[in-house]
Amino acid sequence: MMIERGKILIADDEADIRELLGDFLEGEGYECLLASDAFEAMDIFKAHPDIDLVMSDIRMPGKTGLDLLGEIKDLDNDVMVIMISAVKDIESAITAMSKGAYDYVAKPFKLTEVGLIAKKAIEKRKLVLENKEYQKRLEKMVAERTMELKNALYKLDQTYIFTLRALVIALDTRDEETQGHSLRVVRFTLKLAEILGIRDEKLLKVIEYGSLLHDIGKIGIPDAILKKPGKLTALEWDVMKTHPSVGYKILHQIEFLEEASQIVLSHHEKMDGSGYPLGLTGDSIPLGSRIFAVADTVDAMTCERPYRGALTFEDASNELLRYSGIQFDKQVVEAFHSVPLEFWKQERKIMDQKFFDNDTDYIL
Q: How confident is the model at residue 1 (pLDDT cuts 50, 70, 90)?
A: very low
pLDDT of residue 76: 92
Residue that wins the pLDDT comparison between 251 and 170: 251
The pLDDT value given to residue 182 = 80
Give 19's pLDDT tier (boundaries 50, 70, 90).
very high
Whether the CB-CB separation of 33 and 48 falls below 8 Å is answered with yes
Quote the pLDDT of residue 3. 47
- Mean per-residue pLDDT of the chain: 89
Percent of the chain at pLDDT exceeding 70? 92
Inside any domain, residue 166: no
CATH number at residue 357: 1.10.3210.10
Q: What is the mean pLDDT of residues 322-351?
A: 94
Q: Do 241 and 342 belong to one domain? A: yes
Rounded distance between C-alpha atoms, residue 292 and residue 193, angstroms = 9
Q: Are residue 188 and residue 317 in the same domain, yes or no?
A: yes
| pLDDT reported for residue 177 | 56
Are residue 47 and residue 193 in the same domain, yes or no?
no
pLDDT reported for residue 253: 86
Residue 201 has pLDDT above 80, yes or no: yes
- Among 3-17, 75-89, 211-225, 286-300, top mean pLDDT goes to 286-300
pLDDT of residue 52 exceeding 70: yes
pLDDT band at 164 (very low <50, low <70, confident <90, very high): confident
Least Cα distance to 121 among 186, 250, 28 occurs for: 28
Of 135, 152, 167, which residue sits at a domain end? 135
Looking at the fold, whether 298 and 233 belong to one and the same domain comes out as yes
Whether 196 and 335 map to the same domain: the answer is: yes
Question: Where a domain ends, among 86, 107, 135?
Answer: 135
Give the number of residues written for the chain. 364
Same domain, 72 and 191: no
> Looking at residue 175, what is its pLDDT?
62
Query: HEC states along the chain?
Result: CCCCCCEEEEECCCHHHHHHHHHHHHHCCCEEEEECCHHHHHHHHHHCCCCCEEEEECCCCCCCHHHHHHHHHHHCCCCEEEEEEEHHHHHHHHHHHHCCCCEEEEECCCHHHHHHHHHHHHHHHHHHHHHHHHHHHHHHHHHHHHHHHHHHHHHHHHHHHHHHHHHHHHHHHHCHHHCCHHHHHHHHHHHHHHHCCCCCHHHHHHHHHHHHCCCHHHHHCCHHHHCCCCCCCHHHHHHHCCHHHHHHHHHCCCHHHHHHHHHHHHCCCCCCCCCCCCCCCHHHCCHHHHHHHHHHHHHHHCCCECCECCCCHHHHHHHHHHCECCCECHHHHHHHHCCCHHHHHHHHHHHHHHHHCCCHHHCC
What's the whole-number mean pLDDT along residues 255-273? 95
Does 93 fall in a domain?
A: yes
Between 89 and 302, residue with greater pLDDT:
302
In this model, does residue 246 exceed pLDDT 60?
Answer: yes
Q: Tell whether 198 and 346 lie within a shared domain.
A: yes
For the segment 116-153, what is each residue's pLDDT rounded down to a tens digit? 999 999 999 999 999 999 999 999 999 999 999 889 88
pLDDT single digits (tens) 202-218: 999 999 999 989 998 98
Model pTM above 0.75: no
CATH of residue 93 = 3.40.50.2300
Give the mean pLDDT of 302-316.
Answer: 80
Query: Are 114 and 238 found together in one domain?
Result: no
Residue 357 has pLDDT above 70, yes or no: no
Instruction: Give domain status of residue 169, yes or no.
Output: no
- For the annotated catalytic residues, the residue numbers are 218
104, 135, 166: which is the final residue of a domain? 135
Residues spanned by the domain of 33: 7-135
Whether residue 345 is contained in a domain is answered as yes
pLDDT band at 167 (very low <50, low <70, confident <90, very high): confident
9 versus 99: which is more confidently predicted?
A: 9
* Same domain as 206, residue 129: no
| pLDDT on residue 180 | 73
247 φψ region: left (φ > 0), alpha (ψ -120 to 50), beta (else): alpha
What pLDDT is stored for residue 307 in this prediction? 60
Cα 128 to Cα 283: distance, rounded to the nearest angstrom: 58
Question: 355 and 224, same structural domain?
Answer: yes
In a domain? residue 162:
no
The reply to whether 184 and 319 lie within a common domain is yes
The answer to the question of residue 160 being in a domain is no
Structurally, how many domains does the chain consist of? 2
Residue 167 lies in a domain: no
**Looking at the structure, do residues 119 and 13 belong to the same domain, yes or no?**
yes
Residue 99 lies in a domain: yes
